[in-house]
Amino acid sequence: MSLKPMRQQVEEYIVGLQDTIVSALEKLDPNAPPFKRDSWIRTQGGRGQSCVFAVPEASESGSAHENLPVLEKAGVNISIVHGKLPPAAVKAMRVDHSSVPFDPLSPAVPFFAAGLSLVIHPRNPHAPTCHANYRYFEITESVQEGKESGSGKLLAWWFGGGSDLTPSYLYEEDAVHFHKTIKEACDTHGEAIYPAFKKWCDEYFLIPHREETRGIGGIFFDDLCDQTHHRLPDDAVRPRTPEDIFEFIKTAGDAFVPSYVPIVERRMKTPSTPHERRWQLIRRGRYVEFNLVHDRGTKFGLVTPGARIESILMSLPETARWEYMSDMGTDENSEEGKLMKVLKEPRAWV
């Protein structure tokens, strides 16, 4: 067991994981420009690094990926921040974290947060978008001004995260590979974890006003700590100590590259048509709708003092499309219709 504070352990891990993931993505397309590495300092406390890939919009004529980089837009960001949460952020957080203290007379709550968040939007309509997030959060007691940040008593802590796949065209072998890789990672820490967090993922990434999910799922979890968890049976084999939960986080984080990169390698040169590009952009419009209207992480980030807006909105695709009463996806026998079926009725993949 490490003698380092959990804050330091998490920080060291996400710094290394960011480098691993960015390197794997850059190897997909050695001729493309490298990711832009943008280190930043938060004046209210903390730091981060945004690694972002984007190129100027090119002509849409012909194949959507011909002579263009494999990735259209991507970001792999880390942040290690601390400070005090304002009432709006505390209120939003208490919806899902009842352990967060709230004193109306002194509503600002000291916090520490460290995490990695990524979204990958490949150019080819047959290569799926993927999102992942792994984070650690602490709430501490207020301390006298001038004392070291984080020196207050630890009141609450938890880990959260997940990874999910959002294809425009459904390839069953890709879906099975993605879920199988994640399930195998989860199973090493308890066989109850994957089914519980897979179900949570399907529920979380629902777009209520469309009555469809954003993608074909993966895992999603939050509030994972040493207390009873409402998504897991009390007698389930699962990590319960901070050290064991952190090991689970590392196993899940390390599974990202093998779960996703081989899928992009398999699909990035698939011939595509303007019709398929049009459908990809419509699906990206749905992605935008979820992220801006429903995603808790986006909402929390936007009400946090000193939030880095460019990093928060990095998840949005470079280009998206909305069509009034579009008929794409309405034919059940079309390739678009096959995807819509599983978005309306999530299914088991492994």
User: Is-contact 28 124, C-beta < 8 A?
Assistant: no
**Residue 58 within any structural domain of the chain:** no
d(CA 308, CA 85): 15
pLDDT over threshold 60, residue 145: no
pLDDT for 264 = 98
- Helix, strand and coil percent figures for the chain, each rounded to 5: 35, 25, 40
pLDDT for 140 = 84
* Distance, CA of 273 to chain centre: 29
Give the residue-averaged pLDDT of 44-71: 77
**Residue 60 within any structural domain of the chain:** no
Q: Which of 206, 200, 205 is nearest to 224 (CA)?
A: 200
Report CA torsion sign: 9, 15, 16, 18: positive
CATH code for the domain in which residue 170 is found: 3.40.1500.10
Domain span at 77:
6-40+71-344
**Residue 59 within any structural domain of the chain:** no
Q: What is the percent of the chain with per-residue pLDDT over 90, rounded to a whole number?
A: 74
Provide Rg for the chain, Cα atoms.
20
Give the residue-averaged pLDDT of 42-50: 92
Q: pTM for the full model?
A: 0.91
**Residue 99 within any structural domain of the chain:** yes
Q: Which of 139, 137, 153, 136 is nearest to 102 (CA)?
A: 139
pLDDT for 108 = 76
Helix segments in 48-124, DSSP class H = 87-94
Q: What is the percent of the chain with per-residue pLDDT over 70, rounded to a whole number?
A: 89
* Structural domains counted in the chain: 1
**Residue 49 within any structural domain of the chain:** no
> For the segment 188-198, what is each residue's pLDDT rounded down to a tens digit?
999 999 999 99
Q: Which of 134, 136, 138, 135 is nearest to 156 (CA)?
A: 138
Q: Where residue 155 falls among pLDDT bands split at 50, 70, 90?
A: confident
Q: Which of 136, 260, 248, 256 is nearest to 191 (CA)?
A: 248
Q: Where residue 310 falls among pLDDT bands split at 50, 70, 90?
A: confident
Q: Where residue 66 falls among pLDDT bands split at 50, 70, 90?
A: low
What angle, 0 to 180 degrees and rounded to 10, lies between the N-to-C axes of helices 6-28 and 256-267? 10
Distances (CA, A) of 217 to 175, 205, 277: 9, 8, 22
Give the residue-averaged pLDDT of 157-181: 97
Q: Where residue 79 falls among pLDDT bands split at 50, 70, 90?
A: very high
Total residues found in the chain within this entry:
350
Residue 151 DSSP code:
-
**Residue 350 within any structural domain of the chain:** no
Q: Residue 13 is encoded by which pair of tokens?
A: 């891990």
Q: What is the mean pLDDT of the chain?
A: 90
Provide CB contacts within 8 A for 179, sequence distance 6+.
198, 217, 218, 349, 350
d(CA 92, CA 95): 6
> For the segment 220-253, what is each residue's pLDDT rounded down to a tens digit?
999 999 999 999 999 999 999 999 999 999 999 9
19 burial class (0-12, 13-18, 19+ CB within 10 angstroms)? middle
pLDDT over threshold 90, residue 304: no
pLDDT for 50 = 95
d(CA 213, CA 206): 4
d(CA 334, CA 339): 9
**Residue 66 within any structural domain of the chain:** no
Give the residue-averaged pLDDT of 153-159: 89
The catalytically annotated residue of 65, 82, 121, 131 is: 131
pLDDT over threshold 50, residue 148: no
pLDDT over threshold 80, residue 146: no
Give the residue-averaged pLDDT of 164-178: 98
Higher pLDDT: 107 or 114? It is 114
**Residue 253 within any structural domain of the chain:** yes
pLDDT for 309 = 86
Active-site residue, 229 included:
no
